[in-house]
Structure 1
């Protein structure tokens, strides 16, 4: 199974909009994409939004029977596959089957051989991969990977078809057609048929779209997952017909989740018609999930109307704080010129919601301009706003590379404002600059406030700066 890892730094204050793709406690694995082979498209979408994506490939499960005579050979083959040495892995897996045909590993070994050959990708390798899958179906029909092998076969046939194999192209088209004609609830072969439809879309989109329309016309609750897959496949086609189909789904599908998927992918259409629809959906949505998707989709568009729509949502006090925060977050990710920054500053001055103010602070910090940093530091000085907003401004200024000299000067300026000085100590502790450690050591040695000295010493104890150990020993021996 193919997986994607989203690795994004977490935020110490935890003030991140819930729909933003930011992880608070480590990586998240997006599994279940075996029927969606165009992973590079997903990766490009994520990376375009500043998300670091690591791709990991299929690795067979750990050995499960040390008494099995093929166990050591399986271990070698598994290691080769994990290291992406697919030629060696394919050879070791076939050797395992030939030497130990009655091993518990033999049936699945044929699937992993086929997968390894598929990764190699030559026409000869693809034919040998099909042979391995057929051998598994004939000799090991109860293998645990049998269902996965059916889907893999369709992906292999799609690759053959793209290289001009007419027989493979016909098989892919026939399997895809079966998905559109299927009645009732999905069955166990649907993953294979979805892969076929994906392959057909890549080969002949004009033939695939009518089948996708049939799939999306299904209305049973049990076909919801199938319709989601179909929406994703449609989204890969940049055409008026594909946009029309996504718009129909966004407006009429009985499932809120399917509508939300269609709305999200409409942002990739990059057409004025899609943006107008998204603007209308965002203006009238009463469901938070639908509104979240519409906001995200608008943020992906380069149309002027999408910019205006995000501003309107961000400023609309009739919308929930959550929705407004989402609009501000995505606006900050994609809009960073002087006019955009002025809009956010003015919105901050009008807002009385700490949640909205926090979102604006974060959005301004994303710009990382000297003007934005000055504004954040000025906020930290402003006694007319809440302590939490001032501390939040300091956190983001520190995280976004504000001039450390300004922050050091601000610490001395804030004498007597313990909450702000405490936050600055934390900000210094998160910086890797030598000057930040210098300031912490100065506070630990000389600040008249005992609690601030203790706080500085605590954070110095977390530092790996080689000077700190000697400093702390000297402090103890005073």
Structure 2
């Protein structure tokens, strides 16, 4: 019996060894080297990855992994250069990385790695130019101009098909929900900026990224091309992306351009994006531009985006505009949005205006929105206002709402007030019980 078990065990071991040998025979030597290189990449062992990739490229010039290997070799050389190497070695590694990426672009016209290689070239070249090597600007300029110079970009801009989907999501309206039965608006996210190459021309997208890099190196040359894209490109997505790039620079041309596109761009989402980026610029000029858009806009959603942009600005003029809208705008939804953003600002002048509005207004639904704004602000004055309302408010529903919001805070004054209510309620119940018992005895 024991001998039989040993035979079975021996047979299984042999079978395992044979299967491993067969599997190993099926794998080509270039694949083995490539897998070793990828394993080193995953471990961020750049020298080991470089050694294996260089071996694959030199020993197997016809390997199906060659374009893949050239990209990852360029990537590994670049990453190694960023690990604290001496200046001379850092530059040498970056130069070699560019050479390998250029080799990929020369040898493989249809490789799926071409776009990644060009983007990596731009990144490496930008680092070299910023380190004092202006000759590497040619990699960025070559991407922008292509064969036909800057005009090539303009032709590419005109050649994109219409109907491309705009910036995904844009600046959303905000998520509507309820707290204690009240309608509230959760702040909207920033518009996403990533580009989906399935929806537009990948060549032009790469040029836009190169223009962004060139803006940091030579703004006067890149600006007119980006401005043309922002105004004339038939793709809403690319117009929005160009506006984003331009909006990041402190330049007197930015606000007029954003105001123009926010007012006149044919695409709704591009207008919303322009408003969002306007909101990132502080100062009275921006507030005036946003106020003008709000007063002229007919679209409710566009007005809501302006409210959000004004709230981000936090300039006193922006807050005054929001206060004016909260007090006087005839549209209830717009009024509620303005109240919400004033509460979010946590600015003293905004809080004082909201306190006055609560005392003056007779509308219960507006008072409910104001209570929520106080709870979101959660400053000492706002909490004290909630306590005062909970003490004095004659409307039982509003009184309960104020107490509910106070219970959500960890503020000591709020907790002391809630304790006072509880103890007072228990005392009243005991007094009532004593009175009932006394009445029973007397009868």
Question: What range describes the TM-score normalised by the shorter chain of this pair?
Answer: 0.5 to 0.7
- Cα distance in 1, alignment partners of residues 56 and 243 from structure 2: 44
Choose which of 62, 78, 92 in structure 1 pairs with 2:42.
78
Cα offset, 1:74, TM superposition? 2.4
Cα offset, 1:271, TM superposition? 3.5
- Cα distance in 2, alignment partners of residues 285 and 414 from structure 1: 52
SS at match of 1:217: helix
Could you tell me whether the CA contact under 8 Å between 2:391 and 2:399 is conserved in 1? Answer: no
Residue matched to 2:374: 364
- Cα distance in 1, alignment partners of residues 427 and 104 from structure 2: 76
- Cα distance in 1, alignment partners of residues 402 and 100 from structure 2: 59
Choose which of 135, 159, 165 in structure 2 pairs with 1:184.
159
Cα offset, 1:366, TM superposition? 4.3
Runs of 5+ consecutive residues of structure 2 not aligned to the other structure: 1-26, 58-62, 85-89, 145-149, 161-199, 434-443
- Cα distance in 2, alignment partners of residues 114 and 252 from structure 1: 47
Cα offset, 1:406, TM superposition? 2.8
Quote the RMSD (CA, aligned, Å): 3.4
Residue matched to 2:409: 399
- Cα distance in 1, alignment partners of residues 129 and 406 from structure 2: 52
SS at match of 2:281: coil
- Cα distance in 1, alignment partners of residues 427 and 267 from structure 2: 57
Residue matched to 2:296: 284
Residue matched to 1:201: 215
Residue matched to 1:346: 356
- Cα distance in 1, alignment partners of residues 83 and 123 from structure 2: 13
Could you tell me whether the CA contact under 8 Å between 1:263 and 1:278 is conserved in 2? Answer: yes
Tell me: CA distance 1:136–1:374, structure 2 relative to 1, closer, same or farther (3 Å). same
Cα offset, 1:230, TM superposition? 0.6
Q: Deviations over 1:259-288 (max 9, x none)?
A: 111111112332433211200112232323
Residue matched to 1:325: 336
SS at match of 1:306: helix
**Residue 226 of structure 2 is aligned to residue 212 of structure 1:** yes
Cα offset, 1:198, TM superposition? 0.7
**Residue 58 of structure 2 is aligned to residue 95 of structure 1:** no
- Cα distance in 2, alignment partners of residues 304 and 216 from structure 1: 31
**Residue 322 of structure 2 is aligned to residue 310 of structure 1:** yes
Choose which of 101, 115, 121 in structure 2 pairs with 1:133.
101
Could you tell me whether the CA contact under 8 Å between 2:310 and 2:318 is conserved in 1? Answer: yes
Aligned positions of 1:25-174 closer than 5 A = 69=32, 70-71=34-35, 73-80=37-44, 88=45, 90-100=46-56, 102=63, 106=69, 109-110=72-73, 112-113=75-76, 116-117=79-80, 120=83, 122-138=90-106, 144-174=112-142
Aligned residues: 339
Query: What's the TM-score, normalizing by structure 1?
Result: 0.61
Aligned positions of 1:379-390 closer than 5 A = 379-381=389-391, 384-385=394-395, 387=397, 390=400
Could you tell me whether the CA contact under 8 Å between 1:73 and 1:96 is conserved in 2? Answer: yes
Could you tell me whether the CA contact under 8 Å between 1:161 and 1:168 is conserved in 2? Answer: yes
Q: Deviations over 1:205-256 (max 9, x none)?
A: 2222211221122152xx1111111101111121221222212211221111
Choose which of 241, 251, 259 in structure 1 pairs with 2:271.
259
SS at match of 2:202: coil
**Residue 311 of structure 2 is aligned to residue 299 of structure 1:** yes
Could you tell me whether the CA contact under 8 Å between 1:74 and 1:96 is conserved in 2? Answer: no
Query: What's the TM-score, normalizing by structure 2?
Result: 0.66
Q: Deviations over 1:1-60 (max 9, x none)?
A: xxxxxxxxxxxxxxxxxxxxxxxxxxxxxxxxxxxxxxxxxxxxxxxxxxxxxxxxxxxx
Choose which of 208, 216, 233 in structure 1 pairs with 2:245.
233
- Cα distance in 2, alignment partners of residues 409 and 390 from structure 1: 15
- Larger relative helix fraction: 2
